[in-house]
Amino acid sequence: MLFQIQISRMKTSNVIWVGNYSTVVKRDPVLHWSWKSELPLECATHFVRMRSRVDDAKIPEPRFWSNWSSWKEADAQKSLGRDPLFLFPKDKLVEEGSNVTICYMSRNQQDNISCYLEGQQIHGEQLDSNVSAFKLNKVSFIRKTGTNIFCKVDQKDVIKGIVLFVSKVLEEPKDFSCETQDFKTLTCTWDPGTDTSLPKRSSQSYTLFESFSGKKILCEHKNSCNWQVDSDSQEMYNFTLVAENALGNRSVSVLFSLTHRVHPKTPYNLFLKNVSGTKATVTWKVHPIGNYSTLLCQLDLLGEGNVIQQHNVSIKENGEYLLSELEPDTEYMARVRCADANHFWKWSGSISQKFITAEAAPSEALDVWRNVKSVSGRPTVTLFWKPLSKLHANGKILSYNVTVENLDRPSGLEVHSVPATANGTELTLDQDSYQIHVTALNSAGPSPASVIVVSGDPGNEEVEEERVNGTEDGFSVSWKPQSGKAIGYVVEWCDHPQDLPCDLQWKNLSSNTTSTVISSGAFRPGVRYNFRIYEISTERMAYLLEKKAGYLKELDKSACCQHRIDNPEQKTFVMENLQPESVYEFLVTPYTSAGSGPLDAFTKVTTPDEYYLVEKGPYTHTHHPPHDRLRFAHHDHLLPKKSVENPHLTIMNVSDCVPDAIEVIHKPEGSKIQFLGASKSLTETEFTKPAYLYLLPAEKNYSGPGPCICFENLTYNEAAADSGSCGHFPVTPEALPGQPGPLTSPENLLKALEKNYMNSLGETAAGEASLNYVSQLASQMSGDKDSLPANPPEPVLCSEYKMQMAIPLGLASPPPAENSGLSSTTPLDQSEHYR
């Protein structure tokens, strides 16, 4: 029979749903049918009627509908009671993304009612004077405890609320698969997806149905199910997995042959035996798989995490394989997994075991180089070698053996043991030729020997140096063979040429190579690198072949300071504003209209503290304080230091000096003079009045002792140290008024000294350049200036002074006559600072 059903809401003429229901009927049947309303039934009166007709092929046409039944009323509001406000539906469960209609019913038409969803007010449609409905589209999952909705009567303490339970969408199981490990049990697994369970509500369940056998089981887990294989060994299986919850169900199926779904268990008892330096035997066991016992096992050998060997082995229960071509003293890992040999389905789980091969003697000779120098007339050979790589060391290096054999006078071998931490050693030899063997030792034995031959004869060291240009890749070095019998070449250089030691490096090249590129991460722009190319003879002796020098990238323009000297006759230059106790590098290069000359090696200069003058060759680099005027206290460390080379020079005691102030006066502008008596004429030079260093008494009205002694500071130049010269300056009463004291005013002393100084200029040689310090010393009496006697002895009429000279090396003039005046002096250049 086919039944047609109509449903109306609020009134019979408002038909909201029409549907058909077909079923088989018997005599006096009682039929049941249900319908779910979108709007809760409590919010409106509903009406239902139906009609029927025969829907059977046995009954010939025409088939007519019956008359409609009378309307039947469904009014749930009559059973609600007398509460002023109702809210529906109660505790409804829906799936996320569904549309839901809620409604409220008020007993009082005059009440103003507001409704809220999770605290946000919502607005709906009024169905009649007492009922309003709210449609929520595509509701979202908020929390497992549900979504809160409530309505309240304004101005009254009346609130009604409901909880809408929204569950996650029930998903179709993913990755559904079945397999066996022993042909006794089939294990089916899947990914259940999102859990749809809610508190106090049952979650989804899973049922496994096999269509060939008609059997069905309820799975105990949400992601797996075990199916017992029948003893009749059913070959084909067709499984359907059904996921179901209160809102619906999802299903998925799979069809397979049992023998094609074999997944072996993980192998066990993996061991290594007979492990040597290059071989090892691996053994393991597998679990039997019924009558289908042939397995294909994969054996991987891993080194440092990477697979370096892979082997396939067919077995039944026990597996064994011999690994070869291993490296000594190396850690490896053996790893085994297996699969069905007849129908591959999946690899089993893996089992692994680490092992270390035994040590073996080092397999390669050391890379050895040497440096030969003469110390006290005897050759000193410094040997260098590079540590063996792990690949060639074949174990822990315990020490190095250096064996020395005299080739000119055969005698016993001299053996030196060098610690494993060293990468070289030093040997002191004589002028004979020696053959040197160097080996590395570990617990298994020595490496092949590296052999070099050295001779007391350094060979041809006078090789002209050539320029080589650097590139981004390094230095391209080439050379021309000489003897034609070379067995190889060595290029030598220093990674850090400015350091001591310079980090010597070398590169070995074959005999048919005449060029190479030298690269190093240590190379830096602006640094000069020197390369020496050696030819290795058949006797294993190294001969210097060529020299190369160059810069990876030249930086003249990026120097901290650069000065251009336009006078080609000028041979000295003073660098100002240097810092004391600092390291500087200087380079002097000529230039013409065509450009600058070559950038040779820089000269490294370390400035002393600010109280001393330093001269370096071939050019004079003088460090002075960066001031034109200095005033400082008289301390003992300001006195000249004793010269180690000249024991005649002594250090004066502080208590011997009356003055306690020293002042350097800046020289004023002067006139030009022509130096006389020079062996080579000089161009006119700007001359200024000399700057005198004079000593002032501590007290303003001091009238202390007049007699004094002189001293001459020769520690700056050894050439003048033995001259015995002392400039005697007679101080007459006319020159120095205010006897008996020798220094009644510093101005009078300066005038007298200047007059004598000017008279001596004509005797100054062209090549001399000296700085004279004039000093007055106290009388030879006990005590210091604070304990001078009240009545000092009468002074003599001659006060004696000596010039304190600083003369550049190589420019010292012959010692002056004993009775000469002040020592010859050349005025300092205007740009110079002085002390």
The DSSP output letter for 654 is G
* 436 falls within a domain: yes
Q: Are residue 156 and residue 221 in the same domain, yes or no?
A: no
Domain of residue 105 covers: 85-167
Q: What is the mean pLDDT of residues 540-551?
A: 92
155 against 121, higher pLDDT: 121
Q: Are residue 55 and residue 35 in the same domain, yes or no?
A: yes
Q: What is the mean pLDDT of residues 106-130?
A: 89
Residue 352 is encoded by which pair of tokens? 């692994």
Provide the pLDDT for residue 208.
Answer: 97
Q: Are residue 276 and residue 242 in the same domain, yes or no?
A: no
CA–CA dist 775, 743 (Å, integer): 12
Other C-beta atoms closer than 10 Å to the C-beta of 683 total 8
CA–CA dist 423, 419 (Å, integer): 9
CA–CA dist 248, 98 (Å, integer): 13
**Widest pairwise Cα distance in the chain:** 169
Residue 36's Cα: distance from chain center in Å? 69
Provide the pLDDT for residue 540.
Answer: 92
719 against 439, higher pLDDT: 439
User: In this predicted model, what pLDDT tens digit does every residue of 193-235 receive, in sequence order?
Assistant: 998 988 878 788 999 999 999 999 999 999 999 999 987 678 9
Please say whether the dihedral angle defined by the alpha carbons of residues 41, 42, 46 and 52, taken in this order, is positive or negative.
positive
Q: Are strands 120-122 and 542-551 parallel, antiparallel or unpaired?
A: unpaired
Q: Is 220 exposed, middle or buried (0-12, 13-18, 19+ CB in 10 A)?
A: exposed
Instruction: Determine the Cα angle at 637 with ends 634 and 639, to 5°.
Output: 75
Nearest Cα residue to 537 out of 479, 489, 477, 505: 489
Counting residues of the chain whose pLDDT is more than 70, the rounded percentage is 71
Q: Give yes or no for a cis peptide into 618 (omega within 30° of 0).
A: yes
Using an 8 Å Cβ cutoff, are 25 and 59 in contact? no
Which of helix, strand or coil describes residue 743?
coil
Which of the four pLDDT bands, split at 50, 70 and 90, describes residue 46? very high
CA–CA dist 412, 724 (Å, integer): 59
Least confident of 242-256, 486-500, 570-584, 631-645: 631-645
Q: Are residue 161 and residue 178 in the same domain, yes or no?
A: no
Using an 8 Å Cβ cutoff, are 163 and 245 in contact? no
Q: Is the pLDDT assigned to residue 289 strictly greater than 80?
A: yes
CA–CA dist 299, 294 (Å, integer): 16
Q: Is the pLDDT assigned to residue 253 strictly greater than 60?
A: yes
**Kind plus residue range of the DSSP H or E element containing 746:** helix 746-759
Least confident of 443-452, 512-521, 677-686: 677-686
- HSE (CB half, 13 Å, CA atoms) of 721? 15
Provide the pLDDT for residue 93.
Answer: 93
Provide the pLDDT for residue 705.
Answer: 42
Provide the pLDDT for residue 460.
Answer: 65
Position of tokens 């003293």?
329
Provide the pLDDT for residue 560.
Answer: 61
Where residue 738 falls (left for φ over 0; alpha for ψ -120 to 50; beta otherwise) is left
Q: Is the pLDDT assigned to residue 181 strictly greater than 60?
A: yes
Q: What are phi and psi of 487, to 5 degrees?
A: -100, -5
Provide the pLDDT for residue 110.
Answer: 81
Using an 8 Å Cβ cutoff, are 334 and 299 in contact? yes
CATH of the domain at 133: 2.60.40.10
User: In this predicted model, what pLDDT tens digit does every residue of 674-717 receive, in sequence order?
Assistant: 333 333 333 333 333 333 333 334 344 444 444 343 333 434 33
Q: Is the pLDDT assigned to residue 562 strictly greater than 70?
A: yes
Last residue of a domain, which of 422, 454, 486? Answer: 454
Last residue of a domain, which of 30, 55, 74? Answer: 74
Q: Is the pLDDT assigned to residue 42 strictly greater than 70?
A: yes
Residue 303 is encoded by which pair of tokens? 């080194």
The domain total for the chain is 6
* 726 falls within a domain: no
Most confident region among 22-26, 503-507, 592-596 by mean pLDDT: 503-507
Q: Are residue 348 and residue 371 in the same domain, yes or no?
A: no
240 against 805, higher pLDDT: 240
Q: Are residue 157 and residue 186 in the same domain, yes or no?
A: no
Q: Is the pLDDT assigned to residue 771 strictly greater than 50?
A: no
Q: What is the mean pLDDT of residues 490-497?
A: 93
* 663 falls within a domain: no
Provide the pLDDT for residue 564.
Answer: 83
Least confident of 177-181, 326-330, 453-457, 805-809: 805-809
**CA R_g for the chain:** 55
User: In this predicted model, what pLDDT tens digit does every residue of 635-667 receive, in sequence order?
Assistant: 333 333 333 444 444 444 444 444 433 333 333
Q: What is the mean pLDDT of residues 7-33?
A: 91
Q: What are phi and psi of 440, to 5 degrees?
A: -105, 140
Q: Are strands 542-551 and 528-536 parallel, antiparallel or unpaired?
A: antiparallel
Provide the pLDDT for residue 458.
Answer: 62
CA–CA dist 527, 516 (Å, integer): 20
**Kind plus residue range of the DSSP H or E element containing 749:** helix 746-759
CA–CA dist 491, 542 (Å, integer): 11
Q: Are residue 339 and residue 374 in the same domain, yes or no?
A: no
Nearest Cα residue to 384 out of 236, 519, 495: 495
CA–CA dist 813, 774 (Å, integer): 19
Q: What are phi and psi of 57, to 5 degrees?
A: -65, -20
CA–CA dist 187, 215 (Å, integer): 15
Nearest Cα residue to 429 out of 407, 449, 451: 407
Residues 6+ positions from 463 with CB-CB distance below 8 Å: 544, 545, 546, 547
CA–CA dist 461, 467 (Å, integer): 17
Provide the pLDDT for residue 403.
Answer: 96
Provide the pLDDT for residue 647.
Answer: 41
* 38 falls within a domain: yes
Q: Are residue 340 and residue 280 in the same domain, yes or no?
A: yes
Q: Are residue 146 and residue 99 in the same domain, yes or no?
A: yes
Measured in residues, the chain has a length of: 835
Q: What is the mean pLDDT of the chain?
A: 76
Q: Is the pLDDT assigned to residue 569 strictly greater than 50?
A: yes
Instruction: Determine the Cα angle at 53 with ends 48 and 59, to 5°.
Output: 165
Provide the pLDDT for residue 431.
Answer: 86
Please say whether the dihedral angle defined by the alpha carbons of residues 480, 483, 486 and 489, taken in this order, is positive or negative.
negative
Q: Is the pLDDT assigned to residue 292 strictly greater than 90?
A: no
Which residues make beta-bridge pairs with 227? Answer: 186
Instruction: Work out the end-to-end distance of the chain between its first and last CA atoms, rounded to an integer number of angstroms.
Output: 131
Least confident of 456-460, 551-555, 819-823: 819-823
For residues 544, 547, 552, 554, the Cα torsion angle rounded to the nearest 10 degrees is 160
**Kind plus residue range of the DSSP H or E element containing 757:** helix 746-759
* 69 falls within a domain: yes
Provide the pLDDT for residue 610.
Answer: 55
Which of helix, strand or coil describes residue 335?
strand
Q: Is the pLDDT assigned to residue 433 strictly greater than 50?
A: yes
Q: Is the pLDDT assigned to residue 784 strictly greater than 50?
A: no
User: In this predicted model, what pLDDT tens digit does every residue of 68-86 receive, in sequence order?
Assistant: 999 999 988 888 888 889 9
Residue 290 is encoded by which pair of tokens? 């019924």
Which of the four pLDDT bands, split at 50, 70 and 90, describes residue 556? confident
231 against 320, higher pLDDT: 320
Using an 8 Å Cβ cutoff, are 164 and 208 in contact? no
Q: Are strands 465-467 and 542-551 parallel, antiparallel or unpaired?
A: parallel
Q: What is the mean pLDDT of residues 602-615?
A: 63
Last residue of a domain, which of 561, 580, 606? Answer: 606
Nearest Cα residue to 771 out of 796, 808, 800: 808
* 140 falls within a domain: yes
Provide the pLDDT for residue 626.
Answer: 41
The stretches of 196-284 forming alpha helices (DSSP H) are none
Which of the four pLDDT bands, split at 50, 70 and 90, describes residue 392? very high
Which letter, b or e, does each residue of 611-627 get, where b requires 16 or more Cβ atoms within 10 Å of its Cβ?
ebeebeeeebbbbbbee
CA–CA dist 181, 236 (Å, integer): 16
The DSSP output letter for 828 is P
Least confident of 2-11, 558-567, 743-752, 780-789: 780-789
Q: What is the mean pLDDT of residues 312-318?
A: 91
* 412 falls within a domain: yes
Residues 6+ positions from 752 with CB-CB distance below 8 Å: 729, 731, 735, 736
* 739 falls within a domain: no
